[in-house]
Every structure is written in structure tokens, then in C-alpha cells.
Amino acid sequence: GAPRRDMQPAEFQSLLRASAGRVGKKRPSPAARFKQVLMFLWLTGCRPKEAATLHWSDVDFSSGLIVLKEHKTIRTQATPKPRVIPMDAVVAKLLLSIKKREEGDYVFLNYRRTPWDRHSLSHRVQRARAKAGIPDVVTLYGTRHAFGTRGILNGCDLKTLSTVMGHTNVRQTEHYLHLAAQKSH
């Protein structure tokens, strides 16, 4: 595949601007719905598929946690454990605003009120990139890489970051040490 690359904060802001749409009393526009997915990915480090398949039953507002019973690395774990993603106040506020729409079991729905899939998310990011004049190397997965690098730059230890990102071992997380080292030069 393509080389791993962080999405830069300026690129993220450009994608958000390119995805500007209405979020109001009426149904949010397709762009506004994509913007909410984009924000969620940037703030949580989730994989795009995890956001697309996120159910309200996975979100626990009282504990401030998102608990994914199904996730990419569960079949490689010696003892299968759910992936636990902490929610900060911004993520909780974002999810609460979406929940108020009461549209169904999935957290993120596209304009047709059906769950996003890889293709619809990919198509939406292509359109936002084109509109923002951002290169094709900027992918949705880049939000996850940026999250990992920010974690290291903000002093998060590898073991904690590895757990938050749902890696099976710290070796996968060490990649972000390399990216962070490049950034700090």
C-alpha cells in the first residue's frame, strides 16, 4: 500500500473547511455528516472502519468510554479483549449532538441514514481533498497516524498509546516514535 503518513493539522483543517455543511435543526448535509466522522477520527485515533461500524451500544457516556467488542486485532490476541477508547469532553459533546438526532443503532450515518462504508468514506475524502487542493497521499487513515504521533509528542508512554490505539503489541506503536522524532527536528 501507500506509505504511512500523518495527516497534518493544516490538511485536517482544510478537509474540515472543504466539508463545511449545515448542522442545524434540519437534517445535517452530507458534508456535515462527513465532517463529524472526520472530527471523531482525528480526536480518537480510531480506524475508519471502527467509526463506520460504531453502534450506540458501544458508547458509554457515564464512564466516558467507547468499548468495541469487535475490532481488527481481536483475532490476533491471545486473550480476546474489547478495544477501549477514552472519550474526552469534545468527543462526548460531538457524540451527544449526533445522538439527539435519534436516527438508529449506528452512530455515524450518511445522508441516506445508512451506515458509512469504506467506499462512501473514501469517496467523500476524495471530494474534500479535491476541493481543498490537498494531495492524494492524505488519507482518512492519516488521522489515526496523526493521533499516534501527537500522543508521542505530548508525552504519552508507548504502552498506554498502544492500548488506546488498539495495537496487539508495542512494536506497532513504535512507528510513531520515528514519526515524532522527524517532527521534533
Q: What is the pLDDT of residue 88?
A: 92
> pLDDT in tens for each of the 185 residues of the chain?
555 678 999 999 999 999 876 655 567 888 889 999 999 999 999 999 899 999 999 999 999 999 987 655 556 556 667 888 999 999 999 999 999 999 999 999 998 889 998 788 988 999 999 999 999 999 998 999 899 989 988 999 888 888 888 887 788 788 777 777 776 65
Q: What is the pLDDT of residue 89?
A: 95
Q: What is the pLDDT of residue 78?
A: 61
Report helix, strand or coil for 135: coil
| DSSP classification of residue 8 | P
- pTM recorded for the entire structure: 0.86
CA distance 140 to 12: 10
CA distance 140 to 175: 18
Torsion angle in degrees (nearest 10) through CA of 140, 146, 148, 152: 180
